[in-house]
Amino acid sequence: MSKSTETTTGEQLQTAATLSEALPYMRRFNGKTFVIKFGGHAMGDERLADLFAHDVVLLKQVGINPVIVHGGGPQIGHMLERLRIQSSFVDGLRVTDQETVEIVEMVLTGSINKQIVAAINGAGGCAVGLSGKDARLIEACPLQRTTRDPGSQIEKVLDLGFVGDPKKINPGVLEKFGEAGIIPVIAPIGLGDNGETFNINADTAAGAIAAAVGAAKLIMMTDVVGLLDRSGRLIPHLSPTAANALLKDGTIEGGMIPKVETCLATIQGKTEAAHILDGRVPHVLLLEIFTAHGVGTMIRND
């Protein structure tokens, strides 16, 4: 048994502050579903990935139903480089032709998905890997993006190839997994009307799944501490109105824009709150869920 495995339970209880503090939160979320987007640095760090797996198992043990959606951009990029396949990006999205989407599916549903599944199972859980194509979990259509040349009023539709946008989530299989005590680990690959394979942004897929299953929380693990104000200070809580104001004035910028937009879209339904957490922090899930002060940034309706 590894040292990290031997000390995991003690570390988790210490990280969650005290058991007496954690118990009310355990009771509150018993039977609830959390959709967790796993990505960023934590995926490439063996210790953080191991701690994440143990924390996910702990969530399941206290009655929470975790649903994991993972990314894999760096791993995909590495494989494309090895195969000498050129790729380009538009607004942070990888332009995906037929050759590229085959590699994307291979990497996401193969090595990455199975590594996460193996880590959770090794931590004492029961995880099953699947993609959005399995049981038609994610039905997708081509993602539409437009651009406008400087000085022109004419918008052009960009061809992103097999980059997908979820149009329908079929959560029945996830509900059965939850009832059976199984933790689903989902690769963000969608199925088109004509059997096409679509590459879907993991944040977008996680948000769509959270909304469809009525998850209590959408949790996005990133490589930043959360949303920051113009002075560089963490913003711990945001209402949709405040978040939209920060989007409008440019405080939220770059890659955080689509994450925040996904959070806002998700909490329009039954999802109570969306969280942006720093996946580089050990046990960040437990710190957010089982402590009164929480960590990162939470966006929820007033």
Longest Cα–Cα distance of the chain, Å, equals: 64
Please enumerate in sequence order all residues whose Cβ is within 8 A of that of 241, keeping only pairs 6 or more positions apart, or say none.
302
Query: Measured between alpha carbons, how far is 108 from 104 in angstroms, rounded to an integer?
Result: 6
Closest by CA to 146, choosing from 161, 164, 158, is: 158
Q: Residue 59: which H helix or E strand, with range?
A: helix 46-61
Topology at the third CATH level for domain 29-293: Carbamate kinase (3.40.1160)
- pTM here is 0.87
Q: Is 73 helix (H, G, I), strand (E, B) or coil?
A: helix
3-state secondary structure of 57: helix
Beta strands 183-187 and 189-191 are: unpaired
Confidence at residue 8, expressed as pLDDT on a 0 to 100 scale:
47
pLDDT of residue 151: 59
Partner residues linked to 65 by β-bridges = 33
pLDDT of residue 91: 64
| Nearest residue to 57 via CA among 183, 174, 175, 178 | 183
Contact 184, 174 (CB under 8 A): yes
Ranges in the chain, pLDDT < 50: 1-13, 15-17
Cβ-based neighbour number of residue 31 at 10 Å: 9
Q: Can you tell me the distance from the alpha carbon of 2 to that of 232, in angstroms, rounded to the nearest whole number?
A: 39
List, for residues 182-196, the tens digit of each pLDDT value. Answer: 999 999 999 999 999
The pLDDT value given to residue 39: 87
Structure confidence at residue 2 (pLDDT): 43
Q: How many CA atoms lie within 13 A of 93 on its CB side?
A: 27
Domain map of the chain by residue range?
Answer: 29-293
145-148 and 155-158 beta bridge pairing: antiparallel
